[in-house]
Amino acid sequence: MSSVYEVINPATEKAVTQVALADVEQTDLIIEKAARAFESWRHIAPADRARLLRAFATVVSAHREELAELEIKNSGHTRGNALWEADNVANVLNYYSAAPERLFGRQIPVPNGIDITFKEPLGVVGVIVPWNFPMPIAGWGFAPALAAGNTVVLKPAEYTPLTAIRLGELALEAGIPEGVFNVIPGKGSVVGNRFVTHPQVRKVVFTGSTDVGKSIMAGCAQQVKRVTLELGGKSANIIFADSDIEKAAANAPGAVFDNAGQDCCARSRILIEKSAFEKFMSHFEKAVKNFRVEDPALATAEMGPLISKKQFDAVSAYIDNTVAFTGNAPTGPGFWMAPTVLLPTSTAAASWRDEIFGPVVSVMTFDDEADAIAKANDTEFGLSGSIWSRDSAKAIRVARAVESGNLSVNSNSSVRYWTPFGGYKQSGLGRELGPDALDSFTEVKNVFISTEK
């Protein structure tokens, strides 16, 4: 029996709409439809598949305002972020639209014949998306998967299905054939789990919490099913005394409070060199107090509400007696929380170790380069991070030493669709985006052709 989910606007707590959640039988029917569509999609001429992906990108761009409005209402994302996210889907589609015509194999020298390799699609790919970035994370899965000749079943998170559903409709409008890109709203334990257990789903792309990721990996092992995992983070923002402290402090709030801290790449641990602590904190306090937490529909908003009451309660539990200062937030309906800065006294503090996934950042000092690296690496996560220093050799040494998949020097940016994105340690398995993502959506087939008489 299917059920219905009521979507709530997290900025107002008002109901937006209702969405039907698929049950296992409905999920199976769509997986089977995607498996049938694979037989024709994989054989579409490369230039035609490329054209269809570009058409999809064009339709997404034409609907960027509408998609952004949906995301503001459904997820409380700021207008600036929501527009960037819609554009990111179009950009990623355009980027991978170049792939079908360039999915090269190799010719390998061997005796007595010719050896060639082919990159062949896997079949149906299941993409499971979390609620924090519904559009981009969906696109990072479906765009390269489709480009490589796979068909896709995509499950948005329960809280945030609206933009994914719309993207499914826009794909059809762009001419992507029926059954090639399928959006199935539903529960993780039902639809998501079926992607893991259904033998016709040949790969699962999962982005979400580390605990669920582990269970998905274990489930996929039963069928040796391919899996990519993008999981949690507890990234460090390492600021050396020789850096532009004012700039590092001015940029630090955005690095952790963007999307209300519900960002796997949030720099939620600030490591500041001891001699620069006072200077950094005075600039940082000004920046936090000026960080604009307001109605996300406003063009000036820098942060909106948390996604849900559940998330609000989970984040609130980390706010202890080490609060240094806070920023501002609206009162009244909505899951609003002021940006909060903690000064934990021990690296054993839960606020220092756990991924809080809210607008809470912890600041701690370090003595020297070695201490900074040791503290940054003292976590099971390894997704992202920043290094601020004017000494480029030191910045590069530290970047090489930090166990993390995505680092920035004198910048807090994490995601560029041209470059690989993914985690070390328990932050994930495999890489998305960039030129190599196609490898995880294809099998390499080797064919030997004898030339013997």
Task: Return the active site residues.
Answer: 230, 264
CB 363 within 8 A of CB 332: no
- Distance separating the N- and C-terminal Cα atoms of the chain: 64
Choice from 144, 192, 359, 382 touching ligand NAD (CB under 6 A): 192
Q: Considering beta carbons, is residue 76 or 130 the nearer one to ligand NAD?
A: 130
Quote helix, strand, coil % in the chain, to nearest 5: 40, 20, 35
- In the complex, least distance from residue 6 CB atom to ligand NAD, rounded to whole angstroms: 16
Kindly report the length of the chain.
453
- Distance of alpha carbon 161 from alpha carbon 170, whole angstroms: 15
Q: Do residues 383 and 404 touch, judged by C-beta distance below 8 A?
A: yes
Q: Binding ligand NAD by CB under 6 A: which of 144, 149, 233, 382?
A: 233
Closest distance to ligand NAD from the beta carbon of 169 (Å): 20
- Whole-angstrom CA distances from 200 to 80, 95, 176, 182, 193 are 39, 28, 21, 14, 13
212 makes contact with ligand NAD (CB under 6 A): yes
Distances in whole angstroms, Cα of residue 204 to Cα of each of 86, 273, 441: 23, 42, 10
Q: Smallest gap, in angstroms, from Cβ of residue 279 to ligand NAD? A: 31
State in angstroms the smallest separation of the CB of 336 from ligand NAD. Answer: 19
Between CA 118 and CA 108 the distance in angstroms is 12
3-state DSSP assignment of residue 130:
coil
Quick check: 331 binds ligand NAD (CB under 6 A)?
no
User: Does 355 contact ligand NAD by CB under 6 A?
Assistant: yes
**Do the bridges between strand 226-230 and strand 360-366 make them parallel or antiparallel, or are there none, so unpaired?**
unpaired
Q: Which of 121, 123, 149, 208 binds ligand NAD (CB under 6 A)?
A: 208
Size of the site for ligand NAD (CB under 6 A): 31
- The mark string for 237-266 relative to ligand NAD (x by CB under 6 A, - otherwise) is ---------------------------x--
* Site of tokens 């559940």: 310
76, 130, 253, 334: which one contacts ligand NAD (CB under 6 A)? Answer: 130
**Among the listed residues 67, 135, 154, 216, the single contact to ligand NAD using CB under 6 A:** 216
CB of 430 vs ligand NAD, minimal distance in Å: 11
Strand, coil or helix: what is 317?
A: coil
Helix (H, G, I), strand (E, B) or coil at 326: strand
Q: Which residues bind ligand NAD (CB under 6 A)?
A: 128-133, 137, 155, 157-158, 188-189, 192-193, 207-209, 212, 215-216, 230-233, 264, 355, 357, 383, 423, 427-428
